[in-house]
């Protein structure tokens, strides 16, 4: 299989960057996942082949990292952070609100594949807590009200 031209360019550069090809495995999986939507069997076989490792070795790695997934997430993957600094400033309120508003629970995808939800640990926004990420986009000092604003924007097709 081939990926988009910019991604192929990135991969070509990656293969030059490391003294041992296998080092490119984790970032390659991440970027491929972002483009394809999930780590399909086809993606896994392709990357294993390019890096000269076995499919089993790739699967072993995928099983370890929490950002890697074999099933597609929603178009907007909403991640609510509830670790200590977030918790102290209302992270669980945002989390409860998110579940109610989106009608889905932890690691679930909604019926039309638009939103998925996950309770996550800490993204280094502790001083601007509680924090939330939609895909790679950061939101600080989240309240139930600002949560609604972000989600409504996305529903209207705005945002990223």
Partner 1 sequence: MIYGLRDLMPGSEHEVKVISRRFDLPNSASIDTYLANEGYQAFLKARKMTQDEIIEEVKKSGLRGRGGAGFSTGMKWSFVPKNIQKPRYIVCNADESEPGTCKDRLLMQFDPHEIIEGMMIAGLAIDAHKGFIYIRGEYRFLIEIVEKAIDEAYARGWLGKNIQGTGFDFDCVAHSGAGAYECGEESALLESLEGKRGIPRIRPPFPAVAGLYQSPTILNNVETFATVPAIILKGGDWYHALGTPKNGGTKLTNISGHVKRPGCYELPLGISLRKAIYEVAGGMEGDKKIKAIIPGGSSTPMLVPDQLDTPMDFDSMAKQGTFLGSGGLVVMNEDTCMVEVALRVMRFYSHESCGWCIPCREGTTWLKKMLTRFHAGGGEERDINLINELAQAMLGRTFCPLGDAAAMPMISAVKHFRADFEAHLNGNKCPYEGRQ
Residues in the site for partner 1, rule: CB under 8 A? 17-20, 22-27, 29-31, 51, 53, 60-61, 63-68, 82-85, 87-90, 121-129, 133, 136-140
Report the alpha-carbon distance of residue 141 to residue 90 in Å, rounded: 9
Is the preceding peptide bond at 122 cis, omega within 30 degrees of 0?
A: no
In the complex, the smallest distance separating the C-beta of residue 123 from partner 1, rounded to whole angstroms, is 5
In the complex, the smallest distance separating the C-beta of residue 133 from ligand FES, rounded to whole angstroms, is 10
Nearer to partner 1, 108 or 159 (CB): 159
Nearer to ligand FES, 15 or 122 (CB): 122
Under 8 Å between Cβ of 38 and 69 = yes
In the complex, the smallest distance separating the C-beta of residue 57 from partner 1, rounded to whole angstroms, is 8
Nearer to ligand FES, 51 or 78 (CB): 78
Which of 129, 132, 134, 142 contacts ligand FES by CB under 6 A? 129
Report the alpha-carbon distance of residue 89 to residue 17 in Å, rounded: 42
**How, if at all, do strands 115-120 and 76-81 pair?**
parallel
Q: Which of residues 44-103 bind ligand FES (CB under 6 A)?
A: 81, 83-86
User: By CB under 6 A, is residue 125 in contact with ligand FES?
Assistant: yes
25-36 and 55-64 helices, crossing angle to 10°: 80
Q: Which residues fall within 8 angstroms of residue 47, CB to CB, at 6 or more apart? A: 25, 28, 29, 32, 58
Three-class DSSP category at 133? strand
Contact positions vs ligand FES (CB under 6 A):
81, 83-86, 122-126, 129, 131
């Amino acid at each position: 299989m081939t990926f988009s031209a910019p991604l192929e360019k990135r991969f070509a550069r990656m293969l030059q960057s490391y003294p041992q090809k296998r080092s490119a495995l984790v970032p390659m999986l991440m970027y491929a996942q972002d483009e394809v939507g999930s780590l399909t069997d086809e993606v896994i076989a392709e990357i294993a082949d390019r890096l000269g490792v076995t499919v089993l070795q790739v699967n072993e790695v995928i099983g370890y990292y929490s950002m890697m997934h074999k099933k597609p997430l929603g178009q907007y993957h909403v991640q609510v952070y509830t670790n200590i600094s977030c918790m102290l400033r209302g992270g669980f309120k945002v989390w409860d609100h998110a579940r109610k508003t989106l009608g889905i629970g932890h690691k679930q995808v909604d019926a039309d594949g638009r939103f998925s939800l996950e309770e996550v640990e800490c993204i280094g926004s502790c001083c601007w807590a509680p924090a939330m990420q939609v895909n790679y986009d950061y939101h600080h000092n989240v309240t139930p009200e600002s949560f609604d604003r972000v989600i409504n924007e996305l529903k209207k097709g705005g945002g990223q």
